Amino acid sequence: MFTCEGVTGRAVFHPADPITDADIAKLTRAIHDRVLRFLRKRGKLPPADAPADDPDLEPPSLLFTLGAAAVQGRIALGPKASGAPAAHAR
């Protein structure tokens, strides 16, 4: 942290305490909660209290399915779409 001294406005550095695992966990939880709240507000996720097997929820779109498979390095469609990681070309 920096503060300014008197009239000269000279910046003075004050070292902070080291970052702990608890600090990282607190920050990660805050980001996680805010992202989920944002996605629910935008209609990209079901409400938090919706049952996981809610028949009223629409199945994921093809774009969502393909995107999820790409991020996970998995095969999305076809006979080999068993969830096994996609083979990478060498």
Ranges of the chain whose pLDDT falls below 50? 89-90
Rg (CA), the chain: 23
What pLDDT score does 86 carry?
55
The model's pTM is: 0.45
Residue in this structure with the two tokens 């393909």, named with its chain if needed: 66
CA dihedral sign, ordered 37, 42, 48, 53: negative
The rounded distance, in Å, linking the Cα atoms of 79 and 45 is 28
Contact 3, 16 (CB under 8 A): no
The average confidence (pLDDT) of the chain is 82
Q: Are 65 and 76 in contact (CB under 8 A)?
A: yes
- For residue 89, the model assigns a pLDDT of 43
Domain boundaries, the chain: 19-49+57-75
Other C-beta atoms closer than 10 Å to the C-beta of 81 total 13
The pLDDT of residue 87 is 56
